[in-house]
């Protein structure tokens, strides 16, 4: 049997139950996200511990990126008696609006150690470029 020693953890658990932070298809729970740019790509990392890769769904419609995942209960036998269950089950979802400077057609995804990593290339039109300066009344053409 497990003994709980943190009285505030019980309060947190009750608050989560009251606010219904477990997700359903009609009201999914949010998932934590980190996002950063490195070189010519934008990287997004979603925390999805305990989620099977086949329970993750990634969609892009126009500029809206949607990530949905479902953490399912483990199949247990009839003789199992749960002592403590704090890990949320259900549906998790996150929508992110992608800017026009990103190329959604080139998105790649990888799932490792409970972290879903999406890599989105920066569109060619958004990459920095040098602009030549003309002189003596002769403008230089900008090369794309």
Predicted confidence at residue 2, as pLDDT, reads 40
> Where are the extended beta strands (E) located within the chain?
33-38, 41-47, 56-61, 64-71, 90-97, 108-112, 115-121
**Residue 34 domain-assigned?**
yes
**Residue 5 domain-assigned?**
no
User: What are the tens digits of pLDDT across the range 36-88?
Assistant: 999 999 999 999 988 999 999 999 998 899 999 998 887 777 888 877 777 77
**Residue 96 domain-assigned?**
yes
Predicted confidence at residue 1, as pLDDT, reads 38
Q: Which residues pair with 121 in a beta bridge?
A: 41
User: What are the tens digits of pLDDT across the range 12-37?
Assistant: 656 655 555 555 555 556 788 999 99
Residues 6+ apart with CB under 8 A from 94: 30, 31, 33, 46, 66, 67
**Residue 105 domain-assigned?**
yes
pLDDT bin (cut points 50, 70, 90) of residue 106 is very high
Write the CATH number for 54.
2.60.40.790
**Residue 141 domain-assigned?**
no
Owning domain of residue 45: 23-74+88-124
Q: Give the number of domains in the chain.
A: 1
Give pTM, 2 decimals.
0.69
**Residue 13 domain-assigned?**
no
Sign of CA dihedral 8, 14, 19, 25: positive
Predicted confidence at residue 133, as pLDDT, reads 78
**Residue 9 domain-assigned?**
no
């Amino acid at each position: 049997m497990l003994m709980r020693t943190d009285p505030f953890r019980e309060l947190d658990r009750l608050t989560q139950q009251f606010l219904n932070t477990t997700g359903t298809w009609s009201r999914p729970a949010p998932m934590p996200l980190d996002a950063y740019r490195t070189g010519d790509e934008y990287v997004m990392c979603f925390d999805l511990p305990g989620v099977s890769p086949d329970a993750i769904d990634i969609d892009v419609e126009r500029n809206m990126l949607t990530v949905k995942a479902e953490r399912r209960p483990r199949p247990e036998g009839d003789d199992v008696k749960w002592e403590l269950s704090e890990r949320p089950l259900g549906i998790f979802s996150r929508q992110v609006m992608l800017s026009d400077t990103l190329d959604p057609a080139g998105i790649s995804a990888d799932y490792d150690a409970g972290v879903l990593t999406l890599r989105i290339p920066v569109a060619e039109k958004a990459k920095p470029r040098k602009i030549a300066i003309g002189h003596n009344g002769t403008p230089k053409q900008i090369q794309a």
